[in-house]
């Protein structure tokens, strides 16, 4: 019905529309197509692998699937069959729908390139359409839009991450966690079906768009993500440590409500007299807490540190790791740490693209909160429930810096090292006019993830045990 090969004419058309970067991804996406689909043959068997492992944080993922584009790295050699006995491992929640492979194949139009949302260490994510209350595939643009994540055929390790996703998201229900709709386990196939997140990942909006996210939206996203972590740490029946908190794993719905995705690295938190969980170091450079990297001791305060990094990214508009920055500014935390305590010059840390359209009181509180979350002493970091309370009023604050008399002086001081005050006053108002937003195609298959990424995301630290 929706199955068919992607002809050369269509390929050329897509190349013109989406740019060479995306076209190359489509052309080399042999690794994204599930094994069965390869055997059935709409994609050449000679396709080469183009999965960038979670280290690249391919934004595309962003949508509904949190997993994709997140944090995977070198795979562990296969030491067990790729189809282990799942009877004792898989705890399927009653509300999850069980899909057949063919249903998901038809729902995503045979995993065609134009439905590709993103890819990462786990596999690739495709957009699909299913019946509102069932598993039957429907015509694109009708029924329920979903994100279908496929599992790379890499044996036991991939199976473990798939199990973690099903077992955690199948049981954990919260407005700030991506909803897992169902799953498919058939022969060697492992697929997951998530709600479709219309605005994609925070990473895309913060770093890969020309127009900056407004201040109030940034604080709204920070608050939503904090609520998700607080639920995992303090409200879930058993505490959960997320372990891979970063901008590419924070997905946004049409109203910019933030939801955490990609639970492949999540771990049960310590219980009883235990103070930590000992585990293989896993995560993403630039986000992982230093004590965890040093010792492998994992606690909820490890997630709090990662939240501090993301909050700093929201405040500054800078990536956690960016080698394109001048020497001494590659690592965001190390660059910002000396300035976090300077209350009088807090504005130096605020994203200059906001051009003063941020709350003075809100920025001060957020910077102070980031400093607390990034404390070198884990015990000094706040609980996520405390973080939520600090963030709650920030999206509504209206004391914009641009309306204050000292804002021009702030701008002059901020840019004085490279421009004299006269040039700053003349050029600053024109910044907004010089921005050239990238166009995003409209339509049922449009994806905010198909942008040529100017940066590579931080590298992951390792794979889970």
| Residues annotated as part of the active site | 244
Greatest Cα pair distance in the chain: 72
CB within 8 A of 100, min separation 6: which ones? 135, 184, 186
How many residues appear in the chain? Answer: 465
Contact yes or no for 223/390 (Cβ under 8 A): no
Which pair of structure tokens corresponds to residue 56? 């690249």
d(CA 272, CA 14): 56
Smallest CA-to-CA distance from 262 within 277, 282, 276, 279 is with 282
Q: At what angle do helices 360-373 and 215-230 cross, to 10 degrees?
A: 30
* H/E run at residue 258: strand 258-260
User: Which parts of 392-427 fold into alpha helices (H)?
Assistant: 407-415, 421-427
In the numeric block, the tokens 């939503």 are attached to: 224
* Interatomic CA distance for residues 465 and 457, integer angstroms: 23
Residue 217, SS3 per DSSP: helix
Bind-site residues = 149
Report whether 154 contacts 143 (CB < 8 A). Answer: no
CA 95, 233, 118, 36 torsion-angle sign: negative
The answer to whether 3 and 105 are in contact (CB under 8 A) is: yes
Binding residues for ATP, as ranges, are: 149
Residue 412: CB atoms within 10 A of its CB come to 17
Is residue 340 within 8 A of residue 348, CB to CB? The reply is no
CA distance 20 to 2: 26
The continuous run of DSSP H or E covering 14 comes out as: helix 8-27
Strand partners, 240: 268
Task: In whole angstroms, give the CA distance from residue 295 to residue 77.
Answer: 24
């Amino acid at each position: 019905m929706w199955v068919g090969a992607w002809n050369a004419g269509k390929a050329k058309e897509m190349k013109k529309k989406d740019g060479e970067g995306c076209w190359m991804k489509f052309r080399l996406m042999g690794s994204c197509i599930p094994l069965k689909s390869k055997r059935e043959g709409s994609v050449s068997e000679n396709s080469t692998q183009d999965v960038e492992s979670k280290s690249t944080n391919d934004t595309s993922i962003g949508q509904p699937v949190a997993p994709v584009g997140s944090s995977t790295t070198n795979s562990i050699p296969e030491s067990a069959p790729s189809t282990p006995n799942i009877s004792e491992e898989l705890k399927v929640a009653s509300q999850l729908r069980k899909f057949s492979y063919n249903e998901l194949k038809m729902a995503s139009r045979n995993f065609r390139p134009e439905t590709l949302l993103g890819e990462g260490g786990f596999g690739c994510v495709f957009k699909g359409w299913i019946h509102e209350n069932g598993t039957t595939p429907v015509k694109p643009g009708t029924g329920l839009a979903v994100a279908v994540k496929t599992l790379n055929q890499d044996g036991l390790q991939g199976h473990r991450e798939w199990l973690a996703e099903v077992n955690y998201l199948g049981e954990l229900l919260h407005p700030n966690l991506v909803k897992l709709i169902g799953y498919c386990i058939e022969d060697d196939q492992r697929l997951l079906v998530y709600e479709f997140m219309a605005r994609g990942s925070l990473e895309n909006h913060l770093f890969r768009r020309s127009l900056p996210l407004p201040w109030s939206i940034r604080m709204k996203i920070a608050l939503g993500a904090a609520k998700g972590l607080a639920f995992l740490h303090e409200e879930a029946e058993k505490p959960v440590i997320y372990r891979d908190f970063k901008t590419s794993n924070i997905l946004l719905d049409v109203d910019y409500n933030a939801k955490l995705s990609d639970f492949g690295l999540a771990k049960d938190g310590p219980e009883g007299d235990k103070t930590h969980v000992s585990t293989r170091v896993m995560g993403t450079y630039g986000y992982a807490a230093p004590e965890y990297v040093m010792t492998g001791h994992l606690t909820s305060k490890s997630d709090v540190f990662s939240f501090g990094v993301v909050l700093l990214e929201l405040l500054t508009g800078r990536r956690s790791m960016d080698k394109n920055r001048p020497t001494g500014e590659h690592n965001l935390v190390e660059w910002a740490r000396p300035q976090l305590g300077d209350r009088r010059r807090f504005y130096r840390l605020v994203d200059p693209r906001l051009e003063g359209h941020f709350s003075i009181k809100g920025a001060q509180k957020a910077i102070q909160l980031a400093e607390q979350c990034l404390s070198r002493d884990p015990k000094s970091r706040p609980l996520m429930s405390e973080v939520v309370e600090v963030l709650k009023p920030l999206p509504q604050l209206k004391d914009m810096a641009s309306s204050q008399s000292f804002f021009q002086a702030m701008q002059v001081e901020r840019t004085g090292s490279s421009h004299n005050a006269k040039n700053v006053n003349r050029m600053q108002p024109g910044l907004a006019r010089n921005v050239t937003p990238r166009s995003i195609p409209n339509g049922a298959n449009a994806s905010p993830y198909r942008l040529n990424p100017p940066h590579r995301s931080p590298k992951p630290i390792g794979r889970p045990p």
